[in-house]
Structure 1
Amino acid sequence: MQRRSLLAVPAALAAAAAFGPAAIAQEKKTLAFIVNVSADFWTIARRGIEKANREHPEYNMEMFVPGQASAADQRRIVDELLARKVAGIAISPINPSNSTDTLNRAASQAVLFTTDSDAPNSNRAVYIGTDNVAAGREAGKQMKLALPQGGKAMLFVGTMDADNARERVQGIREVLQGGNIEIVDVRTDESDMARAKRNVEDTLARYSDIALLSGLWAYNTPQIYQAVKTANKEGKVKVVGFDEDGLTLRGVADGTIFSTVVQQPFEFGYMSMINMIKYINNDRSFIPANKQIIVPTRIIDKSNVAEFQGQMRELLRTR
């Protein structure tokens, strides 16, 4: 996925201004969806946004992918969108604790939702996404099923600065506490795919007794899959993943990956857009008291992966 260009927008606004107030009045409001990294996960969310846009053609709905997975790049996108006076922004914040000022500035000028990873200390109107502690607990249960005799495990994720990463690790640790599975460490890669794969390769080389690897972000499990295959460790090292990348599902199908905890990114995209429109129209009835709309997860394993792969192929095909 490529982030859409913002350069053409000033010219469009200038053209609208040239035709006076009537043209400006007809200008469609824009709703923006800012992701944290390029991945098929977000392509599925885009399909949800596209559905919402078909239902509400009176709005422009756009997805933005940062050139680099950094809070600084997300901040630049937010600044450009606010300069465009967009009506709403949904964002998966990479580093919410260091982005509060940016998020609050956005919330003061547009409707602000968080999705995928929350920023509860900001002025966002609502979070739409997974209960990541609960998702971590589900992953922990899968780890126990994959490794009933116990052993050493390594976790892999982009950054522990993101709430969803910290919360997933928290949920995993809760389930494994007092058991016979030991988490050796959590390896981070700053969303660098090559580094993500090197982290796995280094773990396999350094820890001859490593028994299980778990990838917590969408791209981590495919990197684990490739490294395990290259090292001929299929079946010797168990793998539990997150999300529905094509390689992850292939690994579940061929038995290299025990299971994966999948979210519903289609709903992240669709519900963010639909509910931002409600908010703009002064409808707050959809917002729970805790300001979190939780989208449930599913477990994909050998028993249901074929059917799920078919569903994903349909969502990911070119529209």
Structure 2
Amino acid sequence: MLKNRFLLLYLLVVAITLVFFLSKAIGNEKPTIVVVIKDLDTQYFQLLKAGAEKGFQDFGVNGKVIAPSVDSEEVLQKYMLHNTLEQNPDALIVAPLNSNVIPILKEFQKKSIPVLLVDSDESWENKTSYIGTNNFELGRVGGMLLASQLQPGDRVAIIAGNMSHPISADRVNGAKKSLEDIGIGIAVEKIGLPNETNVVKEVTETILYNHPDVKGVLAVTDIMALGAFESLKEQGLHMPVIGADGINDMIELVEEGELPGTVAQNPYDMGYLSVEAAMKVINGEKVESNIDSGVDIIIKGNAQQRLDFQKKLLD
């Protein structure tokens, strides 16, 4: 009787062990992917989070999206990356605040954890892939959209952030290329500005005072474009203002006919595509080193559709 009990116990242990290894072999244990982004306070990154979470659902991922608060962003993002490293995820997706996080990303590489960059690219040769916008193309399309509202020989103002940052620099250079190709002059460039509506509003007032011949404004973000628009409206002036990103406030002005259009990134697609790419890497597949999430032109004809889509995701 005792031998039979030991035999049953032995067979039970063997069965449990076989079930465990078989479940891993057939993929019942979900891979873990952590997405570390810049914030969760802005519409843009809320949409990116929604796209990543849809990817978790569709691809069977045990995933989470985390981000620092607005205060002490860089310090908190570094802390989050260190904490994530200790958890040994199957893949890391990160929207780096700046290149200062690269030493931490190298630690993931040492553990053979693939690192995919989303939204913001960095010149780090060992990244697995970059998923995001071609910002030169975004600027070029924005310049074309602005030029379509003007005549050759007209002059415009360009408003941008720090040109040492590749996103601002690429967008400005893309815009200047298309404007100059079409014969639109650059009256003034105001660069190094914070991405704040009130600051840009004041700067726009100065631009219009010093350059009364300006016929349009191109800003590298929609938040900046909204500041320029508010300044023009207060002065009773009407001219095209083109921004970039595709936030709801800007799209609403396009739908209302206040502005001719805007050019939009696709943060939802970025989030989804980054999870899809991470899963391919986990499964031993190769992915492109650069995955372009595309640029959309938003005008009166498609503004409401885009607005409804984004509002649904943000509810």
Measured against the shorter chain, the TM-score band is 0.7 to 0.9
Question: After superposition, where does 1:238-277 map in structure 2 within 5 Å?
Answer: 238-277=240-279
Secondary structure of the residue aligned to 2:280 is: helix
Of residues 166, 169, 178 in structure 2, which corresponds to 1:175? 178
Alignment deviations for residues 76-124 of structure 1 (CA, whole Å, 9 cap, x no partner): 432333244344332333434x554344344444321112221133421
Residues 206 and 103 (structure 1 numbering): CA distance in 2 closer, same or farther, change over 3 Å?
Answer: farther
Residues 231 and 123 (structure 1 numbering): CA distance in 2 closer, same or farther, change over 3 Å?
Answer: farther
Q: Does 1:151 align with 2:154?
A: yes
Contact 1:144 1:150 in 2 (8 A): no
Contact 1:66 1:77 in 2 (8 A): no
Counterpart-to-counterpart distance in 2, 1:299 and 1:257: 13
Tell me the amino acid that sits aligned with residue 242 of structure 2: V
Residues 134 and 38 (structure 1 numbering): CA distance in 2 closer, same or farther, change over 3 Å?
Answer: same
Instruction: Look up the match of 1:82.
Output: 85
Contact 1:252 1:305 in 2 (8 A): yes
Q: Does 1:163 align with 2:166?
A: yes
Of residues 208, 211, 217 in structure 2, which corresponds to 1:213? 217
Deviation at 1:58, TM superposition (A): 4.4
Counterpart-to-counterpart distance in 1, 2:192 and 2:72: 13
Question: After superposition, where does 1:12-91 map in structure 2 within 5 Å?
Answer: 29-35=32-38, 38-68=41-71, 71-91=74-94
TM-score, structure 2 length as denominator?
0.78
Instruction: Look up the match of 1:185.
Output: 189
Residues 257 and 64 (structure 1 numbering): CA distance in 2 closer, same or farther, change over 3 Å?
Answer: same
Contact 1:69 1:94 in 2 (8 A): no
Question: After superposition, where does 1:227-306 map in structure 2 within 5 Å?
Answer: 227-233=231-237, 235=238, 237-284=239-286, 287-288=287-288, 291-306=289-304
Counterpart-to-counterpart distance in 1, 2:158 and 2:276: 35
Deviation at 1:146, TM superposition (A): 1.9
Tell me the amino acid that sits aligned with residue 296 of structure 1: G
Tell me the amino acid that sits aligned with residue 173 of structure 2: Q
Counterpart-to-counterpart distance in 2, 1:135 and 1:262: 8
Alignment deviations for residues 197-235 of structure 1 (CA, whole Å, 9 cap, x no partner): 4433443454433322222224323333333333332x2
Secondary structure of the residue aligned to 1:55 is: helix
Give the percent of matched residue pairs that are identical in Structure 1 and Structure 2: 21
Runs of at least 5 residues in structure 2 that lack an aligned partner in the other structure: 1-19
Contact 2:116 2:127 in 1 (8 A): yes
Instruction: Look up the match of 2:313.
Output: 315
TM-score, structure 1 length as denominator?
0.77
Deviation at 1:283, TM superposition (A): 2.1
Secondary structure of the residue aligned to 2:36 is: strand
- Structure showing the higher helix proportion among its residues: 2
Tell me the amino acid that sits aligned with residue 184 of structure 2: N
With 176-185 and 46-55 compared, the bigger mean Cα shift is at 176-185
Contact 1:159 1:189 in 2 (8 A): yes
With 70-79 and 256-265 compared, the bigger mean Cα shift is at 70-79
Residues 214 and 72 (structure 1 numbering): CA distance in 2 closer, same or farther, change over 3 Å?
Answer: farther
Counterpart-to-counterpart distance in 2, 1:149 and 1:52: 45
CA RMSD of aligned residues (A): 2.9
Deviation at 1:145, TM superposition (A): 0.9
Counterpart-to-counterpart distance in 1, 2:103 and 2:175: 31
Larger radius of gyration, structure 1 or 2? 2
Deviation at 1:44, TM superposition (A): 1.5
Paired positions, count: 287
Contact 2:92 2:114 in 1 (8 A): yes
With 130-139 and 145-154 compared, the bigger mean Cα shift is at 145-154
